[in-house]
Amino acid sequence: MELIIKKAKLTVLDTYEVTDEKGNVVFNVKGELVSVGKRLRINDPSGHELASVYKKKIALREKYIIDMKNAEEVEVFRIDTMRKVPEYRAKQLGWTLKGDFGKKDLKIMEGLHTAAHLRPKRLSFGETLKLDVKDSGKALAAVALYLVSEMDQQVKPQNASEK
């Protein structure tokens, strides 16, 4: 399944629109200012919440939560590798998001297999990404895992430790 993720420009809150290859809206993502910390809500086109992504404030180890409304919560941990490139491990899914975060060329790995590939969409304006998901039933989880990395990269840019 191919999805297009487009981040809205000139907005106070993080806002994304996720469409299929035909341009039909699949998910809308909106950030919240009122919640404690930052939270992104993923809704279907009619506005019903499907999932949310947020940073767990009180934890022994920094982690993010993907709250899938019809499934268990997924814990996501940032792992700083020896190459100083972060990876994000989604424990319950058995997924690891890794790649070049600066160039937005990322893969979601399930063991040794690629579950999804995210890269910039060619010939597009603004921040527009193409997400190829092998299993269409996991598209929501793939979008949510990408949003975790976006939230974390806004807080801790990839090269912050090198400055």
**What are the φ and ψ backbone dihedral angles of 103, each rounded to 5 degrees?**
-90, 0
The stretch 32-52 carries a mean pLDDT of: 87
Taking alpha carbons only, the member of 127, 131, 115 closest to residue 153 is 127
Q: Which one has a higher pLDDT value, 160 or 96?
A: 96
pLDDT at 46 over 80: yes
C-alpha distances (whole Å) from 21 to each of 1, 84, 110 are 8, 34, 24
- pLDDT band at residue 34 using 50, 70 and 90 as cut-offs: low
On whether the CB atoms of residues 92 and 74 are closer than 8 A, the answer is yes
Give me the residue spans of the domains in the chain.
2-156
163 has pLDDT over 60: no
* CATH superfamily, with its number, for domain 2-156: LURP1-related (2.40.160.200)
List pLDDT tens digits, range 88-145: 999 899 999 999 988 899 999 999 999 999 999 887 767 899 999 999 999 999 999 9
Taking the C-alpha atoms of residue 63 and residue 84, their distance in angstroms, rounded to an integer, is 18
Residue 84 pLDDT grade (very low, low, confident, very high; cuts 50, 70, 90): confident
pLDDT bin (cut points 50, 70, 90) of residue 4 is very high
CB 42 within 8 A of CB 144: yes
Looking at residue 162, its pLDDT comes to 42
Q: Which residues does 10 contact at the CB level (< 8 Å), separation at least 6?
A: none
